[in-house]
Structure 1
Amino acid sequence: MDNLSVELISTLKGHQNPVFTLENGFFANTLFSGGNDKGVVEWDLETSTFKRILCSVNSSVYSLHLIPETSYLAIGLREGLIMIVDVENQKLVVKLNVANGAVFDIKTLVSKRELIAVGEDGFAYVWCLDNFSLLYQFRIAPTLVRTISISPDERQLAFGSKDGSVHLYDALEYHLIASAAVHTHPVTSLAFDPNGQRLLSGGRDAKLVGWNTHDLSEQLSFIPHMFTVYGIHFHPVHPLFATVSRDKTFKIWDKHTYALLRIVGRDKGFDSHHLSINVGIWTPDGTRFITAGDDKVVRVWEVTI
């Protein structure tokens, strides 16, 4: 990975407030972004231009999730609502309510055709994708749950909560396998290694922890950033991952050795974010990494390996 290079290729401007979430688009070379504005924005990455406001919303957008094998975008809102929007026809399909508080993360269990969401009330909510009926709701933690990760084989779910705990569940019956608390502040990011043998968690304590996926025994722990680790993003092709942070940087790591491969920030000479980076995402082909945050802009980075 000695020849890995990162270059800023475009800066997408238009948001008037911090950006909290990104999602790859349904159409090729498109991207969705959302945050403290009252709308979800779609961008054209080929021309690096604004494409459209997909839909207006009544409160901040905390999560975006394109449901696999569909043209449906799930939009999680601060007001405790999930909007399912047909991107192709730009039409609202259904609104899903949670019992109380904001929706912070949304994922799909493709094999079960189920949509799962978590949020401020500490519960997980599971809907059927065939008719969007609510199938289950169960408490994960007595406090806010910010993040979900699904194992590559879809046999396990992991949740991260405000009390610094990671909760590992069986995805078939939704029963608890193990819980562990090692973060001294809220868990803000989770990601299963693509080989399924390790789960990574990042927290507001600036710590990154590696967990065994059988029993949540701790395998490694180190401090990758100066402040909160807001995202852990494995590359879709190569054995590396990126982390994004409140410290205004993102970093790229070797997933086998955890060696630091690249730091991208203003103090390293990059025209990067000058405030917290809240979110990152790889494009499906892995040629670009996209970041956004409190400075209201979306930056598109070409990563050459």
Structure 2
Amino acid sequence: MDITLKSTLPGHQNPVFCVEKGYYADTFFTAGNDKGVVEWDIEHNAFKRILCAVSSSVYALRLIIGTPILAIALREGKLLFVDVEEQKLIASLQLGIKAIFALAHMSWKNELLAVGEAGTLHVIDLSTYQSIYEKRISTTTIRAIAIDEGLGRIALGDKDGQVYLLDSTDFHVITDLKLHNMPTTSLAFIHNKLLSGGRDAQLVISNPNQLHDNFSFVPHLFTVYGIYPHPEAPIFATVSRDKSLKFWSSDDFALLKNISREKMQDGHHLSVNAGAWSQNGQYFFSVSDDKLVKIWEIKKIDKLVANS
């Protein structure tokens, strides 16, 4: 893969924990241990604005596709909904007092899912911004969530290394299995497979219907914090506490590109906490404990998509 660093963006004063594509094609959002959510301009490689102030650390961001609404999950158990166009707070929900670590959007049901430190799944109706259902899934922290619309499946991963598979119609647990020896920290559905990453540095590939027929390999030296399928091309990215981000083939799991300080000086010099693809998949954004935001440009992306 031909990947180059387009820009390194300073400005955050503390570690950055999450990143999300923008409502506008040439923007994206970041947040973390600072007191605000930041919007960036890709075209000009520059800070655009503080979208909104926050009262505690932000652990997850999720743009509600087809709308200008950004969901923001806070350490204090609060969930904010902000209209990006009007720069206006639409709703604020208090989902207990413990941190919310992950969000997922079920567009076909117009619902947002939230999970976190309490081990509870919260379901929010996006037409009213009200919590309509909650279910205790785990006795410990749930840090990861993924959904597959085609399969109608929801995957959750907890601090004990357990992965839960739920039916999206009524949220009953179909099955669960311990896939990691340490906390499960990332999940993604890719090509009818479920990928899970953990603090044990393992990437486990499972059958998304019953969590069996799984194999695993070690993609990083330390915790796998995120798994990000490309919106169109047969590739995915992973980010890790080992300060690297890597790009893989989703067909055979071959390593396509390793971006780290050891391989190229442009890499992050502390833990890479999260990543996200731009709307068109031409750029990948990475954020880190080093307080920096980086924009990586994927060259010849049209050729990758055409060959998929």
Does TM, scored on the shorter chain, surpass 0.5?
yes
Cα separation, 1, equivalents of 2:51 and 2:117: 25
CA-CA distance at 1:154 after TM superposition: 6.0
Residue deviations 1:86-107 (CA, integer Å, cap 9, x gap): 1110111111111230011111
Does the alignment pair 1:203 with 2:198?
yes
Moved more, 114-123 or 233-242: 233-242
User: Which of 166, 182, 190 is the aligned partner of 1:169?
Assistant: 166
Moved more, 148-157 or 118-127: 148-157
| Counterpart pick for 1:80 among 77, 100, 105 | 77
Q: Which residues in structure 2 correspond to 1:204-219 (within 5 Å)?
A: 204-219=199-214
Matches within 5 A, 1:147-186: 147-153=144-150, 155-186=152-183
Match of 1:243 among 207, 226, 238: 238
**1:1-305 counterparts in 2 under 5 A?**
4-153=1-150, 155-193=152-190, 195=191, 197-305=192-300
Deviates more, 1:268-277 or 1:150-159: 150-159
Q: Which residue of 1 aligns with 2:305?
A: none
Letter of the aligned partner of 1:157 in structure 2?
I
Aligned amino acid, residue 212 of structure 1: N
CA distance in 1, matches of 2:93, 2:241: 31
What CA distance in whole angstroms lies between the structure 2 residues aligned with 1:119 and 1:139?
A: 11
CA deviation vs aligned residue, 1:239-295 (integer Å, no higher than 9, x gap): 111111110111111111111111111111231100000001111211111111100
TM-score, normalised by the number of residues in structure 1: 0.96
Q: Which 10-residue stretch deviates more, 132-141 or 41-50? A: 132-141
Structure-2 separation of matches of 1:185 and 1:135:
32
In structure 1, distance between residues paired with 2:106 and 2:49: 29
3-state SS of paired residue (1:168): strand
2:303 aligned residue: none
Measured against aligned partners, the alpha-carbon deviations of 1:156-194 in whole angstroms (never above 9, x if no partner) come to 10001011011000001111111010211111100000x
The SS at the match of 1:268 is coil
Task: Give unpaired runs (5+ residues) of structure 1.
Answer: none
Q: Secondary structure at the match of 2:108?
A: helix
Distance 2:163 2:117 in 1: 16
Tell me, in whole angstroms, the C-alpha distance in 2 between the residues paired with 1:231 and 1:125. 21
Cα distance in structure 2, aligned partners of 1:84 and 1:182:
33
The ranges of structure 1 where at least 4 consecutive aligned residues each deviate by more than 2 angstroms after the TM superposition are none
Q: Secondary structure at the match of 2:262?
A: helix
- Aligned partners of 1:209 and 1:218 also within 8 Å: no
Conserved? CA contact 2:40–2:46, under 8 Å: yes
Contact 1:200/1:209 (<8 A) preserved: yes
Identity %: 50
TM-score, normalising length: structure 2: 0.95
CA distance in 1, matches of 2:125, 2:280: 29
Aligned equivalents of 1:102, 1:150: Cα separation in 2? 21
Inter-partner Cα distance in structure 2 for 1:218 and 1:120: 30
Task: Give the match's secondary structure for 2:221.
Answer: coil
Aligned counterparts of 1:11 and 1:303: Cα–Cα separation in 2: 15
How many residue pairs get aligned? The number is: 300
Render the CA deviation track for 1:54-110: whole Å, top value 9, x for unaligned. 110110000000111111110000010001111110111111111230011111111
Amino acid at match of 2:37: V
RMSD: 1.0
Query: Comparing 131-140 with 225-234, which one deviates more in the overlay?
Result: 131-140
